[in-house]
Amino acid sequence: MSLFIENLRKIHLAEWEATPSAQEAISWLTDLIHFLFPGTHLPKVTSYKGLLKKNQIDLENILLSYLNPTQFDIENIGREFYNSIEEIYSNLRLDAKKIYEFDPAATSINEVIVSYPGFYSIAVYRIANKLVRLNVPVLPRILSEYAHRNTGTDIHPAATIGVPFMIDHSTGIVIGATAIIGNNVSIYQGVTLGALQVAKELAETKRHPTVEDNVIIYARTTILGGRTVIGRNSIIGGSVFLTKSVEPYSNVFNTHQLRITPSEKV
């Protein structure tokens, strides 16, 4: 056992790479989402500015814990991120409004915001994506994987997703890193926007589909390939498997026929 421990220590020393604390990252994310959408607990009006400033300091401390300040302008990253908070909030309000308008079971936009896992996964994506665009490593993936575990929706933070965006039911959705999704797109449970093949040498290649504006993709559909484009204003039905592009204004449905025969009477 002592030899194993010593070898493990040597491996750790050789392979160690600074990473942010997952606990601190999730705490920061939770505080930020509660600031934007406080639910049942409204902070005092006089404390809003202070709460946001504290959240900014927390982010900068997380970045300082694992990034080299000679290589990353941490203060500028914090400033740029929080300069975008109004845009993130406005986009998320539009996302919530679209979910409410599409879902007959939703009774209010507030219900969508406080209880819908699809909205939560979009909220975390928009926060993590801004960090990606500021070239922040590791932290965005910690946030997106936390949302993945809690919602069943796996959105890579580097994906490009327009506004508004609707996820219904949330479970089993996968959106790859190089996927591009336009404005006013709706996706249902079990949809995958994935790659045709997985190989490390394709890391810098567009591997995932492009979905243009005003597209609806229904449950359990799989769309693969970086050259695959779903044209604007198209409807992709449930359980469809696509590896080639679809022209705008297309309706694509699975033609598998279900056969039902009566059972014998007992």
Q: How confident is the model at residue 250 (pLDDT cuts 50, 70, 90)?
A: very high
State residue 150's pLDDT score. 96
- Taking only the tens place, the pLDDT of each residue in 27-57 is 999 999 999 998 756 666 567 788 889 999 9
**Residue 222 confidence (pLDDT) above 60:** yes
Closest CA to 213 of 249, 256, 252: 249
State residue 40's pLDDT score. 55
Q: Is the dihedral of CA 238, 153, 103, 248 positive or negative?
A: negative
State residue 265's pLDDT score. 63
Average pLDDT for residues 248-265, to the nearest whole number? 82
**Residue 261 confidence (pLDDT) above 90:** no
Give the global pTM: 0.91
**Residue 119 confidence (pLDDT) above 70:** yes
Cα 259–chain centre separation: 38
Q: How confident is the model at residue 249 (pLDDT cuts 50, 70, 90)?
A: very high
State residue 24's pLDDT score. 96
Average pLDDT for residues 101-122, to the nearest whole number? 95
- Of 3-7, 14-18, 229-233, the poorest mean pLDDT is in 14-18
State residue 259's pLDDT score. 73
Burial class (CB in 10 A: 0-12, 13-18, 19+), 215: buried
**Residue 79 confidence (pLDDT) above 90:** yes
CA-CA-CA-CA dihedral for 197, 248, 123, 237, to nearest 10:
-70
- Of 9-13, 92-96, 239-243, the poorest mean pLDDT is in 9-13
**Residue 105 confidence (pLDDT) above 90:** yes
104 CB-near residues (< 8 Å, 6+ apart): none
- Of 42-46, 157-161, 195-199, 203-207, the poorest mean pLDDT is in 42-46
Average pLDDT for residues 161-165, to the nearest whole number? 98
| Integer Cα distance of 154 and 122 in angstroms | 10
Average pLDDT for residues 234-246, to the nearest whole number? 96
Topology given in CATH for the domain delimited by 159-254: UDP N-Acetylglucosamine Acyltransferase; domain 1 (2.160.10)
C-alpha distances out from residue 196 to 201, 255, 257, Å: 14, 23, 27
Between β-strands 192-194 and 180-181, what pairing exists: parallel, antiparallel or unpaired? unpaired
**Residue 110 confidence (pLDDT) above 80:** yes
State residue 228's pLDDT score. 97
State residue 48's pLDDT score. 77
User: What are the domain boundaries of the chain?
Assistant: 19-153, 159-254
**Residue 68 confidence (pLDDT) above 70:** yes
**Residue 168 confidence (pLDDT) above 60:** yes
* Domain 19-153 part of CATH 2.30.110.10: no
Q: What average pLDDT does the structure give for the chain?
A: 91
